Amino acid sequence: MYTTITNLETYLHDLLHVAHFSDYCPNGIQVRGRKRIERVMTGVSACQDLIRFAISWQADLLLVHHGILWDKDSRVVTGSYKDRLQLLLKNDLNLMAFHLPLDAHPVLGNNAQILQQLDLTQTGPFGRYRGGTLSFMGQCQQPLSLTNFSKKVKQRFGGSPLVLPFGPKKIKRVAVCSGGAPELVREAKERGADLFLTGEASEFVYHFAKEEKISLIAAGHHRTEKGGVKVLGDHLAEVFGLEHRFKNVPNPI
């Protein structure tokens, strides 16, 4: 089966409530290619390797969390940005990206998927950002030692998570925010979390966590943001009868 890129764009904007977010990149179409969509490849970041995988698989749409257009970047088309753009345009490949809307979705989002993968029950919103929230608080079904909770994180996400073991001995309340959100450790402490789980850590979090007695796990920016785009691709395949393939291009950060 197939659909059109316009149908997908409209559907995804509604599904992910794009209009509710003030983001620092365009959400939705970033490069418009062919109109007919039969094959969708998903991945975390629109790097050249991922674009080439999509082309070799003859995808019609590449759907990612991190696109190629960011407000902070130069508008001069040069370097690797030029190379990515040339690959997309030469092969008439659509590129669609959803950033904060994909983090925040209560079912398909990155943070909702983290809770599900760690068997945490969603208990409320978390992660204040520009008048809204990006994530959720979670609760363990039964209290776990930090050692056992850390093992579960490593099993689910891989890599070598950074663990700061300064909170309670038993973990029950967990604040979660995928990607690079170390500053939210302050809100996690305010909300009474035993542990804050994110992707990346900054220098200040060590002393903050130690002094405020909260544990922190940085499980990897890339690794904590694989879940949302993959299940979003599966969802589109089911709704529109499309072929979908998720491609993981490893990134240790």
**pLDDT tens sequence for the chain (253 residues):** 999 999 999 999 999 999 999 999 999 999 999 999 999 999 999 999 999 999 999 999 999 999 999 999 999 999 999 999 999 999 999 999 999 999 999 999 999 999 999 999 999 999 999 989 999 999 999 999 999 999 999 999 999 999 999 999 999 999 999 999 999 999 999 999 999 999 999 999 999 999 999 999 999 999 999 999 999 999 999 999 999 999 999 999 9
Identify the pLDDT of residue 185: 98
Identify the pLDDT of residue 101: 98
Residue 128 structure tokens? 């204040």
Answer for the pair 205, 216: CB distance below 8 angstroms, yes or no: yes
Q: Which of 104, 107, 110 is nearest to 127 (CA)?
A: 104
Q: Do domains 3-99+226-246 and 104-225 have the same CATH topology?
A: yes
Identify the pLDDT of residue 22: 93
Identify the pLDDT of residue 176: 98
CATH class of 104-225: alpha beta
Span 3-99+226-246 CATH architecture: 3-Layer(aba) Sandwich (3.40)
123 to 67, 136, 141, 173: CA distances (angstroms)? 31, 7, 12, 9
Q: What is the pLDDT of residues 128-144, one digit of tens each?
A: 999 899 999 999 999 99
pTM: 0.96
Answer for the pair 62, 43: CB distance below 8 angstroms, yes or no: yes
Sketch the domain layout of the chain as residue ranges.
3-99+226-246, 104-225
Exposed, middle or buried by CB within 10 Å (0-12, 13-18, 19+), for 228? buried
Q: What is the pLDDT of residues 157-213, one digit of tens each?
A: 999 999 999 999 999 999 999 999 999 999 999 999 999 999 999 999 999 999 999
- State how far the Cα of 141 lies from the Cα of 62, in Å rounded to an integer: 37
Cα-based angle 218, 202, 222 (whole degrees, multiple of 5): 45
114 to 34, 76, 174: CA distances (angstroms)? 34, 37, 11
Identify the pLDDT of residue 246: 98
- State how far the Cα of 66 lies from the Cα of 99, in Å rounded to an integer: 6
What is the share, in percent, of the chain residues with pLDDT greater than 70? Answer: 100
